[in-house]
């Protein structure tokens, strides 16, 4: 199928569906391969910056949303109040989940060095993260970010987020190994 036509049809489906649609659902609908669908999806995502309606692709699920650049106008139209800011603890926890996802609570607490149950619950309630069960061990609950996370922070494409290494390049151990001093 012509790529433009496929893009147009995917957009129509996403417009009608009010919930996130999985790539798998689309492959079934179109009877096409995952890579074909993903190619079209990536094209649509690359046009996000110039469009009033953008496509959020995250964890192989797709959802249409308004462009965060138009945030203040939409907010005015919906007469929405500003939401409460995230606490430092919640931001720390979210940072770990974002770059380590899917990640277990034990791992989060290992990094933060402090019980993080409360922060995790806060993020869950705000819909910024969700639970998923581990592929290796179904008993382990993992956490990952959501479409709501992208929407709240105005992220239009997960791949546009800076690398963990780039973000933290200024934080390094001194040249000599600490335990040799």
Partner 1 sequence: MRIKLEQHQFEGPLDLLLQLIEDQQMDITALALSEVTEQFLNYVRSLQEKNPTNLADFLIIAAKLLVIKSKALLPNLDLGADEEEAAFDLTAQLLTYKKFREVAKFLKNLEARRKQSWSRETEFTDRVTFLPDPEVTVDVLAGTLGKLATELKEIVKLPEKVLEKVVSITEKINHIQALIGQKVETRLSELLKDASGKTDVIVTFLALLELTKQRILSLDQEEKFADIIIKKN
Interface with partner 1 by CB under 8 A: which residues? Answer: 15-16, 18, 54, 56, 63-69, 71-72, 74-75, 78, 82, 85-86, 88-89, 91-92, 94-96, 98-99, 110-115, 147, 150-156, 162, 164, 167-168, 170-171, 173-174, 178-179, 181
The distance of closest approach from Cβ of residue 46 to partner 1 in the complex, given in angstroms and rounded to an integer, is 17
Rg (CA), the chain: 19
In the complex with partner 1, the residue whose CB is nearer, 23 or 95, is 95
Minimum distance from CB of 105 to partner 1 (Å)?
14
Instruction: Report the nearest approach of partner 1 to the CB of residue 133 (Å).
Output: 24
Q: Nearest approach, Cβ of 171 to partner 1 (angstroms)?
A: 5
Nearer to partner 1, 35 or 180 (CB): 180
Cα separation of 142 and 132, whole Å? 5
- Which residue's structure tokens are 């907010």? 75
132: alpha, beta or left, given left = phi > 0 and alpha = psi -120 to 50?
Answer: beta
| Cβ neighbours for 154, distance < 8 A, ≥ 6 positions apart | 68, 69, 71
The residue among 33 and 115 lying less far from partner 1, judged by its C-beta, is 115
Residue 61: Cβ within 10 Å count: 16
CA angle 85, 81, 131 (to 5 degrees): 50
Residue number with CB closer to partner 1 (37 or 155): 155
Q: How many CA atoms lie within 13 A of 125 on its CB side?
A: 9
* CA end-to-end distance (rounded Å), the chain: 65
Task: State the nearest-atom distance from the C-beta of 168 to partner 1, in Å.
Answer: 4
Which residue's CB is nearer to partner 1, number 15 or number 28? 15
């Amino acid at each position: 199928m012509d790529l433009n036509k496929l893009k147009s049809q995917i957009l129509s489906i996403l417009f009608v569906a009010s919930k996130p649609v999985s790539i798998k659902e689309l492959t079934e609908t179109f009877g096409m391969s995952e890579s074909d669908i993903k190619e079209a999806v990536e094209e649509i995502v690359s046009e996000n910056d110039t469009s009033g309606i953008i496509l959020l692709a995250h964890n192989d699920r797709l959802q249409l949303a308004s462009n965060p650049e138009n945030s203040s106008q939409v907010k005015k139209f919906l007469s929405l109040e500003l939401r409460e800011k995230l606490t430092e603890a919640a931001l720390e926890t979210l940072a770990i989940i974002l770059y380590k996802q899917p990640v277990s609570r034990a791992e989060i607490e290992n990094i933060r060095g402090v019980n993080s149950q409360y922060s995790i619950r806060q993020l869950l309630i705000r819909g910024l993260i969700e639970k998923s069960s581990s592929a290796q061990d179904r008993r382990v609950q993992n956490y990952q970010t959501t479409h709501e996370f992208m929407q709240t922070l105005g992220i239009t494409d997960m791949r546009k987020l800076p690398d963990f290494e780039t973000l933290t390049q200024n934080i390094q151990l001194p040249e000599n190994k600490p335990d040799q001093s």
